[in-house]
Amino acid sequence: MGIGKRIRELRKRAGMTQPQLAERVGVHETTIRRWEQETDKGPDTAMIMKLAEALNVSAENLLSESIEESDEETPIARSLVYEWGGKNRVVFPNTPETRTLIERLVMASMSKPATA
């Protein structure tokens, strides 16, 4: 898998559009599109670091041949942050802190009996 396909896959997992990713890393959305389509030489080292930060992955993961799942990410957090679709989609910042907070809130609400 080339870097463009990895960028696209990680961007989609993060629930971001090309314009949103472009804004986070400080480039025009056509640059993101060209990188993803692999019609450009690709991002330089400094931009790899910005992309990795924006996509909440390590630079090594971004450059590797396969995309690794984060140890921190649980199915509950992933479903809330990345897969909650529909017209009224909620997009949370793609950070470990946000995922941890959401997971703790969900787990706390599930473990305590409801009181009337």
**Tell me: the pLDDT tens digits for 11-20?**
998 899 999 9
What are φ and ψ of residue 112, in 5° steps?
-100, 135
Indicate the length of the chain as a whole number.
116
> Smallest Cα–Cα separation from 57: which of 40, 46, 69?
69
Position 42, amino acid: G
Q: How many structural domains compose the chain?
A: 2
Structural domain of residue 8, as residue ranges? 3-63
Q: Is residue 68 part of a domain?
A: no
Q: Is residue 116 part of a domain?
A: no
Overall average pLDDT of the 29-40 stretch: 91
Q: Is residue 69 part of a domain?
A: no
> What CATH number is given to the structural domain containing 17?
1.10.260.40
Question: Could you give the CA distance from residue 54 to residue 75 in angstroms, rounded to a whole number?
Answer: 21
* Interval 84-93: pLDDT, tens: 444 444 556 6
**Same domain, yes or no: 10 and 48:** yes
Triad 93, 88, 100: Cα angle to 5°? 30
Structure tokens belonging to residue 94 = 């793609």
* Interval 51-86: pLDDT, tens: 988 998 888 888 876 555 544 444 444 444 444 444
Overall average pLDDT of the 95-106 stretch: 75
Overall average pLDDT of the 21-29 stretch: 94
Tell me the whole-structure pTM to 2 decimals. 0.56
Predicted confidence at residue 35, as pLDDT, reads 92
Overall average pLDDT of the 8-12 stretch: 91
**Same domain, yes or no: 18 and 52:** yes
**Same domain, yes or no: 53 and 82:** no
